């Protein structure tokens, strides 16, 4: 299994080699495994002051037109992809929403044994994520969501990370949809988000997390759908109809805010929280459950970086990639990298784990994936995404032992850092340990899970 223990110094050295680039300088090496000062390249900064992260529920890359699907599910996203930078080989770190939340915003991976991080005492630690890093720069914030912030301890976790304003399902007046179990619809969420972002535009820079929910069972959709229902995909028809509706609501949001004064000062980051199973199962890891789009829209982004990137990334790369566009040195301990300041020959990497009791882990690098089931030999595959996804077993590769050591080292080092509470962005650990003792009551109270985790 992955838990085969490497010497601590070796595991740290391998992990640092994976994560550090020419723009990073390690600090506090005796205290923290990967804390570093990151100096983004000056030519990578964009003329933006605000950040809006849009976490799209179940937005599977397999059914995104801009990523190769011919099913016509995401015409609005495809149109938006035409004006931004789209990452083609981007993956969720897990297969449930709460993992997508903490990986994307707190910059910490989905680890075996800690996938419910937001609901555990360890979730009370401070992480070197967007709330910490932008809070330190005096950004205002808002988190707008269709559902209940008690689910998965979202309010407790993100409040502890430093977010201050939360707009959830009980804060909507006369929503188009109000499901007693679930919440309001995506169009309600995006309408409210447009209002909230307008209010935030009052002098200080701001960041926001907008999270959709309609594309999740039991699918909170309006009775009169503004899109055609999807047919011809059997058991997936309802799911894909909800995805098409979410895509429509996303397009409506951009149409609504495009002419606002703050729009051209804002970096938009549109990312899926996870995918879902499709008829094609790419390796026993089922990569299509992880493959999601990552789209950056901002003034100057395509002129500087182009419109497509094949580098592999996962949600833990979101925060460093955002910080690189804002510019200025930042001290952080993200478990990912700025995807836009890597050497041209770097294929990228990502480490993923499915939700639930399955302890399988995988390392994705370039067009290959090393799958490590628990207590079984690892298997290496070449994979293909897009309209005709597939996986092909590679019988023998010279670098397979090295890939396996990298996978084990990263998981071992991140787990040790979590347990020792050394994953914050502070220069010393005494303060970090004091925070650990103040785990919010919401964490201790075992907050409710969403009605159907996913």
In-domain check, residue 453? no
In-domain check, residue 230? yes
The burial of 128, by beta-carbon neighbours within 10 Å (0-12 exposed, 13-18 middle, 19 or more buried), is given as buried
In-domain check, residue 451? no
CA distance 84 to 203: 26
pLDDT value of residue 426:
63
In-domain check, residue 416? yes
Supply the mean pLDDT for the chain.
Answer: 92
In-domain check, residue 210? yes
Q: Number of folded domains in the chain?
A: 1
In-domain check, residue 299? yes
Which helix or strand (DSSP H or E) is residue 443 part of?
A: helix 441-444
In-domain check, residue 371? yes
pLDDT value of residue 302:
98
On whether the CB atoms of residues 86 and 307 are closer than 8 A, the answer is yes
User: pTM of the entire structure?
Assistant: 0.95
Taking the CA atoms of the chain, what radius of gyration do you get in angstroms? 20
Residue 190 belongs to what domain range? 8-444
pLDDT value of residue 4:
55
Report the CATH number at residue 42: 3.40.720.10
In-domain check, residue 452? no
Other beta carbons less than 10 A from residue 187's beta carbon: 24
Candidates 420, 415, 405; CA nearest to 10 is 405
* Total residues belonging to the chain: 454
pLDDT value of residue 452:
67
Cβ-Cβ contacts under 8 Å for 288 (sequence gap 6 or more): 60, 61, 62, 275, 276, 277, 278, 280, 281, 282, 389
CA torsion sign, 174 to 176 to 181 to 186? negative
What are the residue ranges in the chain where pLDDT is below 70?
Answer: 1-4, 425-447, 452-453
On whether the CB atoms of residues 6 and 408 are closer than 8 A, the answer is yes
Tokens in use for 109? Answer: 């991976």
């Amino acid at each position: 299994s992955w838990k085969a223990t490497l010497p601590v110094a070796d595991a740290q050295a391998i992990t640092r080699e994976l994560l550090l680039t020419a723009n990073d300088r390690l600090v506090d090496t005796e205290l923290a495994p990967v804390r570093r000062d990151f100096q983004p390249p000056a030519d990578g900064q964009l003329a933006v002051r605000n950040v809006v992260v849009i976490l799209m529920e179940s937005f599977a890359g397999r059914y995104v037109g801009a990523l190769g699907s011919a099913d016509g599910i995401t015409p609005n996203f495809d149109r938006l992809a035409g004006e931004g930078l789209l990452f083609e080989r981007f993956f969720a770190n897990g297969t449930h929403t709460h993992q997508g939340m903490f990986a994307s915003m707190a910059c910490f991976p989905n680890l075996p044994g800690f996938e419910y991080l937001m609901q555990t005492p360890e979730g009370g630690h401070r992480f070197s994520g967007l709330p910490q890093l932008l809070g330190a720069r005096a950004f205002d914030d808002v988190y707008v969501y269709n559902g209940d912030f008690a689910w998965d301890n979202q309010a407790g976790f993100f409040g502890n990370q430093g977010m201050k304003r939360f707009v959830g399902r009980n804060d909507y007046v006369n929503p188009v949809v109000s499901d007693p179990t679930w919440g309001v619809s995506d169009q309600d969420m995006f309408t409210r988000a447009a209002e909230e972002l307008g209010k935030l535009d009052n002098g200080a820079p701001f960041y926001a997390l907008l999270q959709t929910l309609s594309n999740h069972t039991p699918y909170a959709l309006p009775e009169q759908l503004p899109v055609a229902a999807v047919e011809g995909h059997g058991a997936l028809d309802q799911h894909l109809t909800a995805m098409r509706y979410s895509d429509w609501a996303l397009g409506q949001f951009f149409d609504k805010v495009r002419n606002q004064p703050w729009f051209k000062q804002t970096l938009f980051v549109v990312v899926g929280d996870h995918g879902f199973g499709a008829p094609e199962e790419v390796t026993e890891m089922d990569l299509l459950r992880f493959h999601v789009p990552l789209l950056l829209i901002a003034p100057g982004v395509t002129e500087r970086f182009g419109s497509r990137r094949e580098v592999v990334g996962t949600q833990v790369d979101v925060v460093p990639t955002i910080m690189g566009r804002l510019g200025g040195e930042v001290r952080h301990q993200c478990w990912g990298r700025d995807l836009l300041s890597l050497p041209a020959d770097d294929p990228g990497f990502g480490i993923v784990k499915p939700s639930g009791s399955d302890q399988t882990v995988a390392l994705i690098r370039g067009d290959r994936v090393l799958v490590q089931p628990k207590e079984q030999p690892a298997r290496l595959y070449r994979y293909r995404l897009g309209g005709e996804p597939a996986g092909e077993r590679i019988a023998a590769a010279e670098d397979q032992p090295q890939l396996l050591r990298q996978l084990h080292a990263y998981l071992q080092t991140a787990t040790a850092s979590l347990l020792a509470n050394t994953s914050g962005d502070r220069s010393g650990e005494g303060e970090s340990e004091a925070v650990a003792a103040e785990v919010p009551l919401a964490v201790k109270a075992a907050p409710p899970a969403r009605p159907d985790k996913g």
